[in-house]
């Protein structure tokens, strides 16, 4: 248990940050799921639109420290390749 005021404050901040990061991760997964569903349906227009909507959210996750830069780049790249292959 945190004893010093500084440690108590840090514990409060960690809880708040955890909730924010959890919500952000969930939102990113939702966008990714929408892209996956559009790809599965075979609709190239819907898939490309979903990917365009997902990209900023994924990159926002990078800037906020939820995802690693290379992980996000890999996800976007692979999704983009799959959307292009729908043609």
pLDDT for the residue 87: 76
Q: What CATH number should be reported for the domain whose range is 5-85?
A: 1.20.58.110
Query: Is 24 in contact with 61 (CB distance < 8 Å)?
Result: yes
Residue pointed to by tokens 């609709």: 43
Helices (H), 42-68: 44-63
Query: Taking a C-beta distance cutoff of 8 angstroms, is the pair 57, 15 a contact?
Result: no
**Whole-structure pTM value:** 0.87
**Contacting residues for 50 by C-beta, under 8 A, at least 6 apart:** 31, 34, 35, 37, 38
Task: Kindly give the confidence (pLDDT) of every residue in the chain, 87 residues in length, as a single tens digit, with 9 standing for 90 and above.
Answer: 778 999 999 999 999 999 999 999 999 999 999 999 999 999 999 999 999 999 999 999 999 999 999 999 999 999 999 999 997
């Amino acid at each position: 248990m945190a004893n010093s005021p500084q440690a108590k404050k840090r514990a409060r901040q960690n809880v708040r940050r955890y909730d924010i990061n959890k919500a952000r991760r969930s939102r990113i997964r939702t966008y990714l799921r929408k892209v996956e569903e559009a790809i599965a349906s075979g609709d190239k227009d819907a898939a490309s639109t979903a990917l365009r909507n997902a990209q900023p959210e994924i990159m926002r996750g990078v800037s906020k420290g939820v995802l690693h830069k290379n992980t996000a780049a890999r996800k976007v790249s692979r999704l983009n390749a799959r959307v292009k292959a729908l043609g």
